[in-house]
Structure 1
């Protein structure tokens, strides 16, 4: 009688363990079986608010989404087109739950773009578009159209001059890390009309 009771307890224990294991495997999210964090090393070809596009050595382009959880190495680094980086990323379900995206966990700078022309202040250019808080200015020295932000107290010369499209200007500016997103902002200290 006692040995039969022990056998029944062992069988019951084994059944409970098997059922628990099956439930664990069924309830475990599929992400646990997918690839762990992926890594890409490549060149940044495009950049926007909250994303970068990286092209690896075989020529495959991948859109990676950056966010507040993205860590940068070095800490003050900001992504710029032409830089070679290594990014650790993972698949993440979007907020609406209908699609997935590739979220970046860490971006490490491998090599800055050796062909990048660094814009130095003051810069001379032509205003392409005038806005309330910013200007898009074509800068021939770096062969780019760049966005410059106006802050309260920005000095203009001549006094009372209102900048408009097509005017040639000299801009004294400061390059600062952006408040939102991991990029740079060019803040105008003074702006002078070239005649």
Structure 2
């Protein structure tokens, strides 16, 4: 096939992979019942005048399925860490024992599980939209390339196959996350 067509196919697949990676990253932020350090991934802490990710000012651990402990590198940052967790609006109530910050992760109610599943579905739909947009861009790029009608048809079919493959991946990732969320 034509080099330009190969390039379009490769860049389209690369963009679709990015959509999958983004979806996986977004789904990590949706908690599924048990405590995980990733739940605090979006927390920013004011540290010497600048906003810094929590994991750069403290160790975040999960001693059990319902508890997250945040052990700061410097004890003086405990109030800022508590404030950062509250500002992140994750629904957690941090407790300070003078040495570290402890967060009890409440068990999810059925209603909250459904909300989280809806949120996960919305993220999956966003990923699908991104993949379809990648397909549209690729098809528009193909129209600019000077190739025969048969080669055009084959290239369009290849792009559609890529799209179908990545949409299936999104569905699989979502189904797994939904199962994880709905499991009590």
Normalised by the length of structure 2, the TM-score is 0.23
Higher strand share: 1
Select the structure of larger CA radius of gyration.
1
Normalised by the length of structure 1, the TM-score is 0.22
Greater relative contact order: 1 or 2 (C-alpha under 8 angstroms, separation 6 or more)? 2
Higher helix share: 2
